[in-house]
Every structure is written in structure tokens, then in C-alpha cells.
């Protein structure tokens, strides 16, 4: 394969040749639509069936254009492939085949080899700066980078979940060609690249669809971001499915992380997306679809989706490491040892169980392979949704954190690291945006209001200390300082991550395909013993004690091989006791347990 074929969906411009383009817009609520070419002519667009407007024009790559709705409102293309500035500015015609791939035969990697590294492109400095760190990540043992959302958002600083132009990579980070060059470079180093996509809502600034295509939304269903997207409509489904195919086929991303699909009420949209993605993949190419889904719908993981972020696992480990119990951590602090056992032995904690409000969620998960779960100790949400963006290294006992890190990197679940975690970065990751005016005020006050139920932010004066999301200083403070990673206090963490990932690739990954849960049992307060049968029949055994007292533990089988003990201790890891804040992992020859 040399160049990817041009996307042939209905939404967005279609380059016919070097000088001519067909433009389309679904605008069922417009009376008229015209194409406005910057520095050129304004062309009336012909109305077709079902609310579509189209026109062909002399316009090659680089042409800037907008749409004029009802001779009164000029808007960008909602399927813009690039923007000449920000979300309100003209769109740009892009040649989807204009980049020549240096690694055209890349087919991806098997999922069980995945070690994810989540990063924010802006905090890294853009696509070109990420490229400079890829070699170091590959040498560390990372096999995939995951980019937080790239869809064009208002301003230059944003987490990415305020995107409004889903087909246009954020201009502040670089050009579409620079993004492809980053992906190409990663593939040359054996690294997969994932993108976080947001198909559950549009951001609050720059979305004009309500004006000319109000049926894009359904007003009878609300989400935390307003009216739900109406996936019952074919045009709406195609808008998002074509977008997924663009990232995977044209940009050659290796997979998608789909944000908050619990806010997508039409499950058939998700299954159709998975079907169409896998049908479009070239023979032999590996594509991976990963969900964030608070509903814990494990059944989706047998319907074309590869894995799900395991917030349950993070939450119980976090509350055991920090003793935090406010907000959603209350659901995990109560009876935390039982929940630790269920997480290690079955994947999800909530499998139809009730939370503190008496609401049940989740489906049984023990039948799934452990690789169906993406495990993390930190990510953009769990760090950035803290008032001051604290990282776990600043919150937890170091020995307990090393034990939890052994679980992260040596369990059969798929590990995800958050940028800077590998060397114990202490720079916060804060919530940042670059809104203006009334929206900026609303975001600032809304951010502070999120913490009103937390006792330490009960008074308004304390809440005012929470960093302003719109201040440039908030964004600057969130950049990890990689020059520190070889300094004392950081080099030790980096050495630990490197050691554990080396063990993972040597001992765990070759045996992961075909692995399964064998269950877990409590050893004492905050302590558990878990086993997984690996694909070659051997059993991986984890003894974990995040408590403050040593516990008794059955000795491993006589032929067991010690893979790792998380801290120096005088206790023999095979002697029947497990010290406080310690994890041990053994490989046992298969037995009948």
C-alpha cells in the first residue's frame, strides 16, 4: 500500500483532481447555502435530497472556503479537514493523499503487546516535539502512544474535549502533514499510535450545527453537555463513522480510544462503527477500538471492541493508596478489600452491583480475557480532575506506590502510563482551556463548583485558590519538565519502570494471548492474592499487600519462579508472610486450581 485512498463519505470536501473539489453540506434547516471561496467567487450550492447541498468548484489543495447560510451567516465546514486559524475561521481544502508514507507496509501490533502512554500534544509542544521523544519511549518499553483529542477546539489551549470540528486536527499543534509524519515516525520505531475521539458531544464554542442542521441533536435526551446527538439519523451516524475511518485509514492511526460512550444512548451506532471499521481494514492490518464506558457494558467487548478503560481498578487502588473517600471514591473506599479482590479476580468491580446511591451498573466480566481491561494508576482525568492536578507520587507512600506499579506493569491487564509518570514527575496536570468572555467566566466558576461537595473546598475563599482554567499559567504549569528525569528522586522511578517493562516484555507478553482470570482471595486488610492462567498454561500469581501490617500468604508452588518483589525486605517472599506495602509476582507451572 502506498497512499491511502481518499475518503468517499458524504460529509466534507472531496478533491476531484489537482484543481477541482466537490463541496457538500448537510443543512436540512437552511433555505439556501452558498460556497464562499476566500479571495474568489461565491457559488450557490444546489439542493439535493434529504437536506444535502453540493457544488463543484475550481479549488485545489490550500483553498480557503466557508459556507454562507441563508445569505446571513458564514460558517466553517463542519467536516473541515484543516482550519485557517480557529474554529470560526475559513476551512482549508486538504489533499488526503498528499503525504507519502515512509512505512507503508506497517500493519500494527497484536493487542496483547500493548503498553500505552497517554499524552497531551500541546503540553508536549506539538507533533514535532513528540517525535523527538519517541525513541526514548520505545527504549523504555512503551509500544503505543495515545494522543488526547485533536479535533479543532476554540483557542490554542484545551484538553481537547471541547472540539467542534471533528475532522480538522488542531492547528495549534501543527499541520495535517506533520501529524502524519509523527505517526509515520512512530511506526518506523515499532510504536502504535492511538487517538482519543469524542463522539458524545460538541464543545460549547464554534458549533453552528444547531443553526442549519438542528436534527443533528435530539432534544428529548440530555447529556452533561446538553442535547444528545441523534444517532438514529443516517447522516449523523455517517458523520462520525466516516470520521473514525478518516483517522484510521488516511492518517493510519492504529486505534481509537472512544470517550464516554455511556453518553451515547444508541448502542447500535457503536456496533455499526466497529463493524465498518473492521470491514475497512486491509487484510492483516490490526486495528484496536478501546472504550471509556462508566456503564461497564462488558458485552460490547465481544462485539468488535478490543478493551475498556478500567476505572474500577484505578479507583480502588487509588483509595487504598491515598485513603481518599470523597466524591466517587466513596464507592470504592467502603469494603475496599472485597472490591480489590473482585477487580483482580474478575476485571470490573461493578458488574450489576449497587453504588452508594443505590444505583446498579455493569455486566459480568470474569469470562473476558484480562487483556480486555486497560489499567492505569494515572491518566488525564484522574490527575487533571483534581483541584490542583496532584500526581500520585505526591499523594501516596512510596513503597505502596511501587507495589501498585508492579500490579500496573506486570498484571495481564493492558497498562496505560500518563506522561511523566515513568520518572515520578511532580508537575501537576491541571484543567486548562482558552475561552473568553462569558464562557470563560462560566467555565471558571463551573470548575470551582465541581469541588463544592469536598470538605476541604467547602468555603468560597478556598475554592478561589483553584487555578483558573483560562490562565496561560495554568497550561504552562501542566507541562512535564523532562530535563528532571535523570535527577535524584526521579531517576529511581525511571529505572523501576524500565525494569518492570523489561520483565513484562520478556515474561508476560509472550504468554498473554489466551490468558484468563483464575480468581482472587483476600489475605487481610488491603491485601489480596490473585492468579491468572496464561496462554502457555503457566499461572501468574500476584500477592499484593497495600496495608500497613504484614499478612499471611500461602507459599507459591515449589517450582514457582519469582519475577519481582516490589521492595527490599528481609522477609523471604516464599516464607508465608507478605510485608506491608509489598507486591510479589511468581510464575507457577500449571496446576488444576
Query: What residues act catalytically?
Result: 259, 292
For residue 261, what are the β-bridge partners? Answer: none
How far, in Å, CA of 290 to CA of 241, rounded? 15
SS3 372: helix
Question: Which has the closest alpha carbon to 301: 240, 331, 342, 258?
Answer: 258
3-state secondary structure of 78: coil
Measuring CA to CA, how many Å separate 439 from each of 159, 226, 365, 436, 447?
16, 15, 41, 6, 12
Q: Which among 106, 100, 96, 516 has a CA at the least distance from the CA of 287?
A: 106
CA–CA separation, 233 vs 235, rounded Å?
6
Residue matched to cell numbers 491518566: 379
Strand pairing of 255-258 and 192-197? parallel
Q: Strands 14-17, 20-26: parallel, antiparallel or unpaired by DSSP?
A: antiparallel
Q: Which residue has the cell 450489576?
A: 352
Quick check: 387 and 429 in contact, CB under 8 A? no
Q: Is the dihedral of CA 549, 555, 560, 561 positive or negative?
A: positive
Closest CA to 379 of 587, 166, 116, 142: 116
The Cα 341–Cα 526 span in angstroms is: 9
Q: What are phi and psi of 9, to 5 degrees?
A: -75, 180
Amino acid at each position: 500500500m502506498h497512499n491511502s485512498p481518499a475518503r468517499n463519505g458524504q460529509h466534507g470536501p472531496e478533491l476531484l483532481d489537482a484543481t477541482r473539489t466537490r463541496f457538500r453540506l448537510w443543512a436540512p434547516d437552511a433555505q439556501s447555502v452558498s460556497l464562499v471561496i476566500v479571495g474568489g467567487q461565491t457559488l450557490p450550492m444546489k439542493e439535493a435530497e434529504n437536506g444535502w447541498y453540493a457544488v463543484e468548484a475550481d479549488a485545489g489543495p490550500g483553498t480557503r472556503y466557508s459556507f454562507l447560510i441563508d445569505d446571513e451567516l458564514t460558517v466553517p465546514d463542519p467536516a473541515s479537514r484543516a482550519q485557517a486559524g480557529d474554529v470560526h475561521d475559513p476551512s482549508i481544502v486538504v489533499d488526503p493523499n498528499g503525504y507519502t508514507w515512509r512505512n507503508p507496509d506497517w500493519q500494527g501490533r497484536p493487542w496483547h503487546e500493548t503498553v500505552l502512554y497517554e499524552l497531551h500534544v500541546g503540553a508536549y509542544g506539538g507533533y514535532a516535539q513528540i517525535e523527538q521523544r519517541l525513541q526514548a519511549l520505545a527504549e523504555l518499553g512503551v509500544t503505543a502512544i495515545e494522543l488526547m483529542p485533536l479535533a479543532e477546539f476554540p483557542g490554542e489551549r484545551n484538553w481537547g474535549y471541547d472540539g467542534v470540528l471533528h475532522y480538522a486536527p488542531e492547528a495549534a499543534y501543527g499541520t495535517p502533514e506533520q501529524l502524519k509524519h509523527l505517526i509515520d515516525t512512530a511506526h518506523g520505531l515499532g510504536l502504535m499510535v492511538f487517538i482519543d475521539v469524542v463522539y458524545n458531544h460538541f464543545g460549547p464554542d464554534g458549533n453552528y450545527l444547531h443553526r442549519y442542521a438542528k436534527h443533528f441533536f435530539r432534544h428529548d435526551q440530555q447529556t452533561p453537555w446538553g442535547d444528545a446527538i441523534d444517532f438514529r439519523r443516517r447522516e449523523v451516524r455517517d458523520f462520525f463513522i466516516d470520521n473514525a475511518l478518516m483517522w484510521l485509514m488516511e492518517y493510519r492511526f492504529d486505534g481509537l480510544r472512544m470517550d464516554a460512550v455511556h453518553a451515547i444512548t444508541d448502542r447500535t451506532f457503536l456496533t455499526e462503527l466497529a463493524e465498518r471499521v473492521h470491514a475497512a481494514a486491509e487484510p492483516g492490518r490490526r486495528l484496536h477500538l478501546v472504550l471509556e464506558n462508566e456503564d461497564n457494558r462488558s458485552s460490547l467487548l465481544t462485539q468488535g471492541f478490543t478493551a475498556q478503560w478500567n476505572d474500577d481498578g484505578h479507583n480502588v487502588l487509588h483509595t487504598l493508596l491515598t485513603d481518599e473517600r470523597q466524591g466517587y471514591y466513596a464507592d470504592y473506599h467502603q469494603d475496599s478489600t472485597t472490591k480489590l479482590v473482585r477487580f483482580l479476580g474478575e476485571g470490573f468491580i461493578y458488574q450489576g452491583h449497587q453504588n452508594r446511591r443505590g444505583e446498579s451498573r455493569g455486566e459480568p466480566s470474569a469470562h473476558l480475557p484480562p487483556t480486555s481491561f486497560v489499567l492505569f494508576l494515572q491518566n488525564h482525568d484522574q490527575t487533571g480532575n483534581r483541584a490542583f492536578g496532584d500526581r500520585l507520587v505526591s499523594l501516596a507512600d512510596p513503597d505502596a506506590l511501587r507495589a501498585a506499579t508492579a500490579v500496573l506493569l506486570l498484571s495481564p491487564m493492558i497498562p496505560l502510563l500518563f506522561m511523566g509518570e515513568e520518572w515520578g514527575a511532580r508537575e501537576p496536570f491541571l484543567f486548562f482551556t482558552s475561552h473568553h468572555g462569558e464562557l470563560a467566566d462560566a467555565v471558571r466558576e463551573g470548575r470551582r463548583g465541581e469541588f463544592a461537595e469536598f470538605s476541604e473546598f467547602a468555603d468560597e475563599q478556598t475554592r478561589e485558590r483553584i487555578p483558573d482554567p483560562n490562565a496561560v499559567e495554568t497550561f504552562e504549569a501542566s507541562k512535564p519538565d523532562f530535563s528532571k528525569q535523570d535527577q535524584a528522586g526521579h531517576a529511581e522511578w525511571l529505572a523501576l519502570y524500565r525494569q518492570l517493562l523489561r520483565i513484562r516484555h520478556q515474561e508476560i507478553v509472550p504468554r498473554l494471548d489466551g490468558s484468563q482470570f483464575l480468581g482472587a482471595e483476600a489475605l487481610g486488610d488491603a491485601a489480596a492474592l490473585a492468579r491468572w492462567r496464561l496462554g502457555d498454561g503457566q499461572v501468574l500469581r500476584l500477592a499484593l499487600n497495600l496495608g500497613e501490617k504484614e499478612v499471611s500468604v500461602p507459599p507459591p508452588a515449589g517450582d514457582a519462579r519469582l519475577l519481582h518483589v516490589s521492595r527490599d525486605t528481609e522477609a523471604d517472599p516464599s516464607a508465608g508472610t507478605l510485608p506491608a506495602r509489598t507486591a510479589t509476582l511468581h510464575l507457577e507451572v500449571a496446576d488444576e486450581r
